[in-house]
Amino acid sequence: MEKEIICLSCPNGCHILVQEKEPGKYQFQGAKCERGDVYAYEEITEPKRVVTAVVPTSSDDMPYIPIKTDKPIPKKFIKPLLEKLYELKVPLPTKCGQILIFDFEGTGVNVVITRTFPLEIQH
Amino acid sequence: MKERNYDVLVIGAGAAGMASALKTSKQGLKTAIVDREPYLGGILPQCIHNGFGVHLFKEELTGPEFAERFIQNVVKSDIDIFLNTTVTNMAVHQPIKQANLCSSQHGVFQINAKAIVLAMGCRERNRGNLGIPGTRPSGIFTAGLAQRFINIDGYLPGRRVVIVGSGDIGLIMARRLTWTGAQVLAVVEILPYPSGLTRNIVQCLNDYGIPLFLSHVVSKIEGKDRVEAVNITPLESGAPNYSKTFKLECDTLLFSVGLIPENELTQSAGIKINPETGGPLVDTRLMTSAEGVFACGNVLHVHDLVDWVSDEAQRCGFELVNYLEGKTKEIKQGRVIAGANLKYVLPNRYRISEKNRFSMRSLIVQDKATLLVRQGEKVIRKFTLRNIKPAEMFHVELKPEDLKELVVNGELLPIEFSLN
């Protein structure tokens, strides 16, 4: 088996040639960094993606606050995660990096808030 | 009118404005930053997807997180911040520059500054720039506006969406709309290759089976009050073949057809514009044709990665400090020419006193390309580049030793870049 995979680890978008020499044994070619091989292996075995979205807050000053998964989550969990997120209401204030959902459905993936609100201007 | 005095006035508080203001403020220059929006960060807070900061911070951040790295430093610094504030005009051809501003908090006021940084960013091209025939119903947006509606205001712009143009914002919005429950029927691109980053084609379109029609155009928009359908026509040998036109029923049309540096303020101040980039012409110090006025970020040329914006803005701040300290007031510079297969090379001047960093865009798609730097017939430097495409800007550096030979009779001769 031979397959070309475009790495999504960063905007470089390396083209990685994956060859399955024998069942379960893969050889990777073309990545500029080691993350490429890890990505290509996962893409073949269990593809994952980082999910970003916004969740409603309880304030009109900042009606929605952005979130992300702190690591890529298996694709099959994307839909259930989005459905869960749209049911939530986030209390303010928020802090960038604060965990909103811990270990979603046993995936080991946390959902974290990505924007601090309100901001304290010190002068 | 109330007047305020600063060393540096930075116009725009996005990625470019914040990075340059932090640099000048850190060097002890009294700095003001102004922005017309009620928050710092420019476009970044609405770009909630990840992929920012890989080069600058060596980690993958979302837009709001990337912005926050700078915002937290700006609010802790001595920089004076003016939000909800618009610059209406400026007088720049004098040692102390004047800008007229207005805001609901301060009314109409004036800022006097020794130097100005233009960091106003860019805006989206829209339907008017393309001249698509048809009716004028509601439901037609630029992709960035739709992004703002969803990510900041929480409104869904439509349910069945066609996207015109395969720029990054359009691709990101295809996935974003899918995740909010809307159906994206197609992305239509006039060029034979996608305009956005390859990774976005993969993770935003291919992942969700959204078709990408290359070499196709939207030839008609239908609908009375709301968009009802669009006609899509393939291009064959550069001309639309209307016999192959097909119709997609949809309620929303998004445009992601390129960005234009926002330079009305620049032009009205009499600063020269480079027609290739739409931004001001700048020398090796990133200084415009008006002495003491600098430019960086998307107002100078449209970048595809914010990391390069921050990097350029930091250099701009650094150059500004050197200029005000009198270190680079008189500097020997030579012209830079964009030759074969290059859309532009920036900055438009080079120097031999220090290293030069050039940003450029290709006109061609090539797996492996050679970039030649010439003076007359003589090739002075050769670079081998991989995966060259118009959508992805690339950078090269020239050191003083590469350029030494270019001085003839004390004059710096023009250098020309070409790609093949």
Q: How far is B363 from chain A (nearest CA, A)?
A: 19
Within an 8 Å CB–CB cutoff, is residue A1 touching chain B?
no
B117, B287 Cβ separation under 8 angstroms = no
Nearest CB neighbour to B65, from listed A64, A114, A121: A114
pLDDT digits (tens, 9 = 90+) for B394-415: 999 999 888 877 777 777 889 9
How many residues are given for chain B?
420
Q: Read off the tokens for B130.
A: 């393309």
Run of H or E residues at B30: none
- Label residue B258 exposed, middle or buried (CB < 10 Å: 0-12, 13-18, 19+): middle
B82 interaction partners in chain A (CB closer than 8 Å): none
CA dist list (Å): B23 to B56, B230, B325, B377:
15, 49, 14, 40
What is the model's pLDDT at position B132? Answer: 86
A64 and B152 in contact by Cβ < 8 A?
yes
Closest CA to B15 of B317, B360, B319: B317
A83 interaction partners in chain B (CB closer than 8 Å): none
Q: Which residue has the higher pLDDT, B304 or A1?
A: B304
Of B42-46, B166-170, B368-372, the least confident: B166-170
B123, B260 Cβ separation under 8 angstroms = yes
What is the model's pLDDT at position B107? Answer: 95
A114 and B179 in contact by Cβ < 8 A?
no
Mean pLDDT, residues B303-331 taken together: 93
Kindly provide the residue ranges of all beta strands, DSSP E only, lying in B157-251, ordered along the sequence: 160-164, 183-188, 212-213, 216-222, 229-236, 239-240, 246-249
B75 interaction partners in chain A (CB closer than 8 Å): 119-122
Within 8 A by CB and 6+ apart from B29, the residues are B7, B8, B320, B321, B324
Within an 8 Å CB–CB cutoff, is residue A49 touching chain B?
yes
Cα–Cα dist B86/B80, whole Å? 15
Within an 8 Å CB–CB cutoff, is residue A35 touching chain B?
no
A6 and B49 in contact by Cβ < 8 A?
no
pTM value > 0.80 = yes
What is the model's pLDDT at position B165? Answer: 94
pLDDT digits (tens, 9 = 90+) for B201-246: 989 999 999 999 999 999 999 999 999 999 999 999 989 999 999 9
A54 interaction partners in chain B (CB closer than 8 Å): 48, 150-151, 154
A11 interaction partners in chain B (CB closer than 8 Å): 51, 54, 197, 199, 304-305
Interface predicted TM-score (ipTM)? 0.87
Q: How far is B170 from chain A (nearest CA, A)?
A: 16
pLDDT digits (tens, 9 = 90+) for B271-300: 999 999 999 999 999 999 999 999 999 999
